[in-house]
Amino acid sequence: MITQLLSSRNGQEDIQIAARILRAGGLVAIPTETVYGLAADAFNPEAIRNIFKAKGRPQDNPLIVHIADLDALPMLVTSFPESARKLAAAFWPGPLTMVLPKAEQVPGEVSAWLSTVAVRFPSHPIVRQIILAAGTPLAAPSANLSGCPSPTSAEHVFADLSGRIDAIFDGGVCDVGVESTVIALNTPVPTLLRPGGVTLEQLQEVVGEVLVAPAVLNQLKDGEVAASPGMKYKHYAPKCHVILVKGSTEQYIAYVNAHQGENVAALCYEEDVKYLLVDAIPFGKKEHYDEMAHELFDRLRELDQEHFSTVYARCPDPKGVGLAVYNRLIRAAGFEVITLGDET
């Protein structure tokens, strides 16, 4: 299959082409404000099955359904509780996904046959126009090969999925850079399943108590069931060996410099670069969590291209958007953490 390249430079024409492909049951990679998604008509089971094939995604990992209008909710969910209304008013359109009771007509393929469905109203103008032109909600996981870092540019999507999908719509580099925050609202207390651009602190301000699913911060024990199936997979794994190093700037630099070697690199803060004796790849300034989120996946892909064997990554504070950065990095590191001190 030849993958067609579409672009916002061609304006409405390419939006209509993308919509036609989707209506006919095809797969189109779309830009969103978080990461690129691999979209299909949420009501076409065969198209949904093709998403799983193209990505090599495990069948038990459910997809997020994207809408561009609140009027689409009744065809997707059986209830939209008060907490969901408040969160929608505060954060939609934007990088927040809500897990809600699924309407029967949503194909089981979308939700991995769970009784719930994840719904998101993205803010990126291109995806909104494509959903409206297609006239159907779009199911879309991140548009990477399963296990690779999520794509934050059309080039990343091309590298992973060219030849496997019908089209890629180039909408430039994604703004947020990590996937949406996922919150479950089918539980007695709202539960954070995946941290993202909408922070835990922001969620608590709107709905009060929010539990944090254990899989957000810790590795699941053998046999433990993940509230969000996606959290059980290693994920975001570059091919090199990534180790997360927790400690002060002085401790981090001393540790990395004491472990120099062939093909060793540091995934560090910009301020660290000049003190490091190994190849240093900065992913943002200290405590600039939005910047780190924006850069992280691009840097993880870069690590693979450079063929490093071991990478010592600085551990960000799990505060604000830092929680999302920490959550992705600890998975990239396969939960391997060296603790030199409490300070990050």
- Across the beta sheet with 264-268, the strand order is 279-282, 264-268, 310-314, 241-246, 337-339
Closest to 185 in 3D by CA, of 119, 111, 139, 140: 119
For 123, the 3-state DSSP assignment is coil
Which of 140, 185, 192, 303 is close enough to bind ligand TXA by CB under 6 A? 140
Considering the rule CB under 6 A, would residue 50 count as an interface residue with ligand TXA?
no
* Residue 120 binding ligand TXA, by CB under 6 A: yes
Residue 340: both structure tokens together? 């030199």
In the complex, the smallest distance separating the C-beta of residue 183 from ligand TXA, rounded to whole angstroms, is: 10
Q: Which of 73, 118, 126, 243 binds ligand TXA (CB under 6 A)?
A: 118
Strands 138-139 vs 37-41: parallel, antiparallel or unpaired: antiparallel
322 binds ligand TXA (CB under 6 A): no
| Least Å from the CB of residue 199 to ligand TXA | 15
Q: Does 117 bind ligand TXA (CB under 6 A)?
A: yes
Smallest distance, Å, CB 123 to Mg ion? 19
Member of 50, 228, 327, 344 binding ligand TXA (CB under 6 A): 228
- 180 binding partner (options Mg ion, ligand TXA, none; Cβ < 5 to 8 Å by kind): ligand TXA
Of 142 and 344, nearer to Mg ion (C-beta) is 142
Q: Does 230 bind ligand TXA (CB under 6 A)?
A: yes
Among 3, 6, 28, 32, interactor with ligand TXA by CB under 6 A: 32
The least distance separating Mg ion from the CB of residue 57, rounded to whole angstroms, comes to 8
Binding to ligand TXA, residues 268-307 (CB under 6 A): none
* Other CB atoms within 10 Å distance of the CB of residue 337: 13
Q: Which of 194, 246, 299, 314 binds ligand TXA (CB under 6 A)?
A: 194
Residue 123 is a binding residue for ligand TXA (CB under 6 A): no
**DSSP codes joined into one string, 239-288:** SSEEEEEES-HHHHHHHHHHT--TTEEEEE-GGGGGG-SSEEEE-S-TT-
Does the protein bind ligand TXA through residue 149 (CB under 6 A)? no
86, HSE (Cβ side, Cα atoms, 13 Å): 13
Give 217-232 as a DSSP string.
TSPPPTTPPPSSGGGG
Phi, psi for 4 (deg, rounded to 5): -80, 140
Q: Does residue 153 touch ligand TXA according to CB under 6 A?
A: no
Q: Is 116 in the site for ligand TXA (CB under 6 A)?
A: yes
Amino acid at residue number 36: Y
B/e letters for 40-59, b = 16+ CB within 10 Å, e = fewer, are: bbbbbeebbebbbebbebee
Instruction: With contacts defined by CB under 6 A, name the span among 27-35, 130-138, 209-217, 319-327 that binds ligand TXA.
Output: 27-35
CA distance 130 to 248: 46
Which residues lie near ligand TXA (CB under 6 A)?
32, 34-35, 37, 61-64, 95, 97, 99, 111, 114, 116-118, 120, 140-142, 179-180, 182, 193-194, 228-231
